[in-house]
Amino acid sequence: MISKTMQDALNDQINKELYSSYLYLSMAAYFEDRNLPGFAHWMRVQEAEEREHAMKLYDFLLERGGKVALQTIAAPKTEWASTLEVAQEVAAHEANVTASIYVLYETALKEKDYPAQVMLQWFITEQVEEEKNAAEIVANLKLIEERGTAVLMLDHRLSKRGGE
């Protein structure tokens, strides 16, 4: 049986993952509005991954005999000043998610919840990849300084990402 402390922490993380999904879907809509289907595709792939993360936690909580208590998902931002600003927000958001996963892992350590510690190792590894991908896109956008053709070339590259 899972402790109440761990259950509450997992429910909180489920909410954070669903918010991430919602935020990335909002970013996808932003890119669709600007006729950047590759960037929109990238954000839809990100959105699906975040939803998958939420469900991984959801299923884990149920498997452990815990109770899922879904919380209100905050409304995400809908406007940004530029493609670079969106990418920077993704990078910052992923860093926040990583910090949240670390806190969740520390909770599992304090609670001596060994199954949660094992499961959370997957999330820790996943966040390394998420932060790396976001940082690369920010770096590329800074290099091209949003100059027309170069942005479209990056957009084309992003549209090739698998995951749907």
Answer for the pair 6, 109: CB distance below 8 angstroms, yes or no. no
* Cα torsion angle, 104, 109, 110, 111, sign: positive
CB 76 within 8 A of CB 23: yes
pLDDT tens-digit map of 77-123: 999 999 999 999 999 999 999 999 999 999 999 999 999 999 999 99
Neighbours of 47 (CB within 10 A): 19
pLDDT of 147-164, one tens digit each? Answer: 666 776 777 788 887 765
Phi and psi at residue 162, to the nearest 5°: -80, 175
The model's pTM: 0.88
Nearest-angstrom CA–CA distance, 54 and 34: 29
pLDDT at 146 over 60: no
For the chain, the structural domain boundaries read 4-159
| Of the candidates 124, 29, 133, the residue with the CA atom closest to the CA atom of residue 79 | 29
Phi, psi of 46 (to 5 degrees): -60, -45
Contact 43, 28 (CB under 8 A): yes
Q: Give the per-residue pLDDT at 85.
A: 96
11-68 residue pLDDT tens: 999 999 999 999 999 999 999 999 999 999 999 999 999 999 999 999 999 999 999 9
State the pLDDT at residue 152.
67
Look up the CATH number of domain 4-159.
1.20.1260.10
- Rounding to the nearest 10 degrees, give the CA dihedral for residues 114, 120, 48, 97: 140
